[in-house]
Structure 1
Amino acid sequence: MESPQKRRRVERSPSPVWKIDDNDDFTYVPVAQRKQAKLAKLTSWGTGSDKEKAARQQQEQEEREDEEREEERRKEKARKERTLLMEAQEVHTKKAAEDSKKTEAEKAEEQDAEILAAIASRRKLASDLELAKGVQYTESLKTSWRPPRFIRERSDEEHRKLREKYHIIVEGQDLPPPIENFTDMKVPEILVKFLRSKRITMPTPIQLQGIPTAFSGRDMIGIAFTGSGKTLAFCLPLIMLALEQEAKLPFIRGEGPVGIVLCPSRELATQTYENVLTWTAALAKDGAYPQLNTLLCIGGISMGEQSHVLNKGLHIVVATPGRLIDMLEKKRFTFDNCKYLCMDEADRMIDLGFEEDVRNIMSFFKRQRQTLLFSATMPRKIQDFAQQSLVKPVLVNVGRAGAANLDVLQVVEYVKQEAKMVYLLECLQKTPPPVIVFSENKNEVDDIQEYLLLKGVEAVAIHGSKTQEERQYAIKSFKSGAKDVMVASGVASKGLDFNDIQHVIIFSMPKEIEDYVHQIGRTGRSGKTGIATTFVNMNTPEQTLLDLKYLLIEAGQKVPPFLQSIEDPRAAQGGSLKGCPVCGGLGHGISNCPKLEDTQRRQMASHHGADDRGGY
């Protein structure tokens, strides 16, 4: 019996057999013979001259074809012999020849432009849902507020002159008018009287233009020097919006908030929260207006302590990013009806590690919101980025972004490292307390406090490694006057307002000039004057000293001889001495910006950290 495999082989269809008849013999004819046959056929049709002409044309065509084939073979051979290295060398040689014709200044400007272009390709400040769907809002939010008729009837020229009077620079479309007093802004009379009792009789320049802009529902970028009243400029519109919503239909548990103020530090959030409580309590006094509920949402405190606020309708939230995201993810409250977002010290919020947190917070919004960004230092790069993210924004700028407060007398002294502690005691004798001493190093902060305590000086210390209770105690005891000196790291330099600080001592000069501007801004606030004494020595980077030199010149301050002697290398190159677009420093360009270097270093560290964690 045959196997199945063998049976299949037998049953398979036979392969076709091709038969070639004897008459169909095929013979290969070379190309040259075919051409001759074709030529003979062509020439057989005409006269003798026609035959010659046709032969000549045929020969010319063949010669052209032969030349083309030869050229193609030569190019192919050259392509095979040519390497990527040779191409790269040629490009490099060409670029070197072009560069040799440029000045050092032109090369530096090109390099700066390349770096700026590389860091400018950031996603807009919007939620992931809006970015994914391509949602774009084209019109600002509408509000019920309108300026008084007599202000509406003023000409653009009158508005321009008023802004010039207060040195206000405004950019944008359909600009809201500046208004010189709170009553004409339609602020409730009870709050106007309360502000007057606190010696706030007239709006400051940032309030004069900023409050009408915010009342109009416009997105806004507000820039003004430290101590100029920015907090009232963004809190008052939020309070009025919340009052309007509460009057329409009272809030019940689970509803709200109407708006949120986002701050980079717990101390700044706490200070803003206390201001909002003060102003809302003044409005609710004697039942004139409904009581608004405000929640402080920061790390380091128990949210259970504020359960009485969460158990009612919520109007306003003042928060730091981390704790806010936690509360939103746990659905303790929602942003379903939130239509107002303000970021205080916005350049820090966007630039220094909070950008992803801010974008995460944006994703909880369900509708368009009015966005306001405020800061004393906002470099052009951040302004440009913010303007792409806002809807028809209005830029309100009082003075150069990053410029020092002119009410502060800046004194820069050369002090050797080993002599700083002793000289600090001498400086404390210049003015009566309270005094703030700033140092960039947390360990140095503790050392200074310990030294002052040993010398009988009532001092407290605050830095990021201390517990929330320690930080709150330091702030409270210093504000109350129980302690004379507060030694602080940069955490206390952003936005914090202390009463009657006459003297700020910068024990170690920060690398970034923005930080210096914020630190000296703790004095000379609300129209008062103050002194800032800064210690520098050989440990201070020359670039930082150059930034400081230009800042002193800009503010009309005395420049000590050792700073005068520092030359700007850009001047030797013949370049234009423009400020850095990343940090606003006047003494360097983007290519050697310490802020950019620090940001890149932190990003690298976070990537390495993520890689390390990946193995667990």
Structure 2
Amino acid sequence: MSPVSNSREPSPGGVGTKRKRVTDDPDEPTELTYSDDDYVPYVPVRERRAEKLQKIASAYRRPVERSPSPDSPGEQGSSARPNVPLIDQAVELKKLEKPKDEIQKELELEKEILAAQTAKKALVSNKELALDVHYTDTLKTSWRPPAHIRNAPPSDHDKIRQSFHIDIEGDNVPPPIKSFKEMRYPEPILKYLREKGITKPTPIQVQGLPVVLSGRDMIGIAFTGSGKTLVFTLPLVMLALEAEIKLPLIGGEGPVGMILCPSRELARQTYEVARAMASALAAGGFPELRVLLCMGGISMQEQMDVLRKGPHIVVATPGRLQDMLEKKKFNLDICRYLCLDEADRMVDMGFEDDVRNIMSFFKSQRQTLLFSATMPKKIQNFAKSALIKPCVVNVGRAGAASLDVIQEVEYVKQEAKVVYLLECLQKTPPPVLIFAENKNDVDDIHEYLLLKGIDAVAIHGGKDQAEREYAITAYKTGKADVLVATDVASKGLDFSEIKHVINYDMPKEIEDYVHRIGRTGRSGKTGVATTFINKSCPEPILLDLKYLLREAKQAVPPCLEAIPDVNERFKVLGKDVDGDGLDSECTFCGGLGHRITSCPKLEAQKKQTQAQFRSMHAGSGAGEY
């Protein structure tokens, strides 16, 4: 093959070129020629895209601004700088942003913490999660408000709610009703209420009872002693009565509804209320309703007759109820009513998985109710995962102390507290309730009072059920003047005649303080609460106490006033973690003296989780390599 020679000569115009190639193939052209007419100048990608957009826009008759070329004059300050790396452009854009101050950063951090705490598995059964079961409509009941209440304009209902300081959330909330008679209860129930001295409903009952009777899911929040137990117990009794009249229960059937309580004492108290209502109906000529108490520490042999005939209502603690369901002592095939009393406490005590497991025994949709005096936003958001179109009924701020309690806070040295108890007992006549944080202190106080000749009883988690029930009975019947207890007696127990509550020590959480002092000043009566504080009390809980006293318009001692106000800087900004108004309390525990970023309860929970993680993985590294 002959050598190939390439030559390139400038065209006369200085632009075109001519390229010659020598080849042996006669069929192949020996010369490729490009003239000036064939030359197409290079168009940058940016301009080609702009031209394409211009054509598209002209077709729709909409003008489009052509992207400026980097070489065109007057574009030195243009934001489009293709020759600048993207990282450098991002840095320049961040410089133009308005810098966030420390408060805004902390508020964003609070929002992230709250989202992380509420991002839990929904409070529904594992079966419903696996099958992706979603209920969209609320349960229907046969109850209806009277016609004159149904037909009243919404403005009238709002006036009633405002007069009782009732806040509601939800769609199509049933109207409030101001009398039990208009709620259409049978005469035996009205007679029972009159005998108990209950002549008119409390604010939580005015709105809560119509909501529950209508079959709606509900979150009920009201201060201690406001009558929440009646709101979820009375509608359940009426539901069971209706079911028994339509088709009597036989062995192997039931219950119709169920109430879960976090403690045995609270379960016993709720059981007595439900059984008293059932007895009142039976005395009035209605069918007999069977109530089953299901909790640890008692023999179920005493209730075998109820189990054999089939219970209408079950009042239980989570552990024993779970055991009974797994042993198939009874089933939840026709159960359509579930109430969690002190719901926030039940979640905090670790019963969340137990409750979810109990829900897996339901065969159909149920009406779910959650009640508590202290229900922070974290618990409310989590609770809504188990509810269908819920109504939130709130009387006062969640976690607020009862205004019927006179709160007195006194600085007492640690070594002088036991002796000072005798002086505090002189403030009011008996009965008096003394709270202590741990079991040893309860035993020491109990022994000291007995040595001083004071009729006292004591309860705590270390005592067996017989001792605990004897102490409660002796205290309620007046055989004992003083009850010494841990926080096991602070949740929901109704001691209507207590004159004075003494906090031997400040609890670790402000929620427990609210529940403790709520044992007095119940049902409209006035009570006194005395709390001992000293240098051993953590500052965050003292700050919470300080703000709680201010909120209730109580006297704040100088030792609490001296603690600096940490929330002032947030009040200046005036925004909360949701951006719709300032949260005055910690969204995790409800404390007024701190934010969620410094919540002692959240910190304790983290430490507990870390300790459990370390114990689970102790020694796991041995022999793995």
Residue 219 of structure 2 aligns with which residue? 221
CA, structure 1 residues 250+581, in 2 after alignment: closer, same or farther (shift >3 Å)? same
**Does residue 108 of structure 1 match 2:106?**
yes
Map of 1:240-319 to 2, 5 A cutoff? 240-286=238-284, 288-319=285-316
Matches within 5 A, 1:396-407: 396-407=393-404
SS of the residue corresponding to residue 486 of structure 1 reads strand
1:601 corresponds to 2:601: no
Equivalent-residue separation in structure 2 for 1:506 and 1:202 (angstroms): 32
How far apart are residue 602 of structure 1 and its match? 3.2
Q: More deviation in 300-309 or 598-607?
A: 598-607
Deviations 1:197-253 (A, max 9, x none): 111000111111111111100001111110111111100110000000000111111
Q: CA deviation at 1:383?
A: 1.2
Where 2:167 maps in the other structure, the secondary structure is strand
8 A Cα contact 1:438 1:505, kept in partner: yes
Matched with 2:326 is 329
Are 2:124 and 2:385, in contact at CA under 8 Å, matched by a contact in 1? Answer: no
The alpha-carbon deviation at position 350 of structure 1 amounts to 2.4
> Residue 441 of structure 2 is aligned with which of 436, 439, 444?
444
Deviates more, 1:261-270 or 1:110-119: 110-119
CA contact (8 A) 1:115 1:590 kept: yes
- Do residues 514 (structure 1) and 507 (structure 2) align? no
Distance 1:94 1:534, change over 3 A: farther
Q: Give the corresponding residue for 2:364.
A: 367
- Verify the 8 A CA contact 1:342 1:371 in the aligned structure 2: yes
- Distance in 2 (alpha carbons) for counterparts of 1:95 and 1:526: 62
Once residues 548 and 226 of structure 2 are traced to their aligned partners in structure 1, the CA distance between those partners, rounded to angstroms, is: 19
Q: Quick check: 1:43–1:50 contact (8 Å CA) kept in 2?
A: no
**Separation of aligned partners in 1, 2:117 and 2:413:** 38
Q: How big is the shift at 1:562?
A: 1.4
Q: How does 1:91-240 map to 2 (within 5 A)?
A: 101-240=99-238
Compared with structure 1, are the counterparts of its residues 132 and 411 closer, same or farther at alpha carbon in structure 2 (3 Å cutoff)? Answer: same
2:587 to 563, 571, 581: 581
**Can you give the 5+ residue segments of structure 1 that lack an aligned partner in the other structure?**
1-24, 30-37, 61-89
> Distance between the aligned counterparts of 1:563 and 1:47, measured in 2?
95
Query: Retained in 2: the 8 A contact 1:224–1:376?
Result: yes
Name the SS of the counterpart of 1:365 in structure 2.
coil
Q: Normalising by structure 2, what TM-score?
A: 0.83
Instruction: Give the distance between the partners of 1:112 and 1:239, measured in 2 at CA.
Output: 43
Aligned equivalents of 2:304, 2:177: Cα separation in 1: 40
Partner residue, 1:392: 389
Among 465, 473, 479, the residue aligned to 1:482: 479
Q: Compared with structure 1, are the counterparts of its residues 104 and 254 closer, same or farther at alpha carbon in structure 2 (3 Å cutoff)?
A: same
User: What secondary structure sits across from 1:181 in the alignment?
Assistant: coil
Deviations 1:506-558 (A, max 9, x none): 01001211110000000000110000000111111111111111111111111
User: How far apart, CA to CA, are the structure 1 residues paired with 2:607 and 2:95?
Assistant: 34
Residue identity matched to 1:292:
L
Question: C-alpha distance in 1, partners of 2:604/2:150?
Answer: 48
Offset at residue 499 of structure 1 (A): 3.0
Aligned to 2:31: 44
Q: Report deviation, 1:476.
A: 1.1
1:75 aligns with none
Alpha-carbon separation, structure 2, partners of 1:173 and 1:48: 79
Cα distance change of structure 1 residues 293 and 427 upon mapping to structure 2, 3 Å threshold: same
Flag the 1:184–1:607 CA change in 2: closer, same or farther, 3 A: same
SS in structure 2 opposite 1:558? Answer: coil
Task: State the shift of 1:351 in Å.
Answer: 3.2
1:419 Cα deviation from its structure 2 partner: 1.0
- 2:237 and 2:34 mapped to 1: Cα distance? 106
1:536 aligns with 2:533: yes
User: Counterpart of 1:222 in structure 2: which amino acid?
Assistant: G
For 1:535 and 1:98, the matched residues in 2 are separated by 54
Q: Secondary structure at the match of 1:450?
A: helix
SS, match of residue 222 in structure 1: strand
3-state SS in 2 of match to 1:569: coil
User: How many equivalent pairs are there?
Assistant: 558
Retained in 1: the 8 A contact 2:19–2:32?
no
2:566 equivalent among 566, 569, 577:
569
- The AA in structure 2 aligned to 1:416 is K
CA apart distance, 1:465 = 1.6
User: Partners in 2 of 1:283 and 1:117 — Cα distance?
Assistant: 47
**How high is the TM-score relative to the length of structure 1?**
0.85
Q: Is the Cα–Cα contact under 8 Å of residues 368 and 386 in structure 2 kept in the other structure?
A: no
SS at match of 2:471: helix
SS state at 2:115 partner: helix
Q: Secondary structure at the match of 1:162?
A: helix
- Letter of the 1:596 counterpart: L
Q: Secondary structure at the match of 2:325?
A: helix
Contact 1:206-1:230 within 8 A present in 2 as well:
yes
- 8 A contact 1:99–1:107 mirrored in 2: no
One-letter identity of the residue aligned with 2:483: M
The alignment yields a C-alpha RMSD, in angstroms, of 3.3
Residues 496 and 522 in structure 1, CA contact (< 8 A), matched pair in contact too = yes
| Conserved? CA contact 2:263–2:488, under 8 Å | yes
User: How far, CA to CA, are the matches of 2:96 and 2:34 in structure 1?
Assistant: 64
* Cα separation, partners in 2 of 1:610 and 1:475, compared to 1, 3 Å: farther
8 Å Cα contact 1:479/1:499 also seen in 2? no
Q: CA deviation at 1:302?
A: 1.4
Aligned residue identity for 1:602 = Q
Offset, 1:378: 0.7
Letter of the 2:33 counterpart: G
Superposed displacement of residue 601, structure 1? 3.0
Question: Any gaps of 5 or more consecutive residues in structure 2?
Answer: 5-17, 22-28, 45-87, 575-582
Q: What is the DSSP-based 3-state SS (H/G/I as helix, E as strand, rest coil) of the residue aligned with 2:33?
A: coil
* Structure number with higher helix proportion: 1
Moved more, 109-118 or 325-334: 109-118
Partner in structure 2 of residue 15 of structure 1: none
Quote the Cα distance in structure 1 between the aligned partners of 2:210 and 2:192. 20
State whether residues 341 and 369 of structure 1, in contact with CA within 8 Å, keep that contact through their aligned partners in structure 2: yes
Q: Which moved more, 1:131-140 or 1:449-458?
A: 449-458
SS at match of 1:413: strand
The 3 A distance-change label for structure 1 pair 200 and 49 is closer
Conserved? CA contact 1:352–1:599, under 8 Å: no
Task: Give the Cα–Cα distance (whole angstroms) in 1 for the partners of residues 139 and 295 of structure 2.
Answer: 29
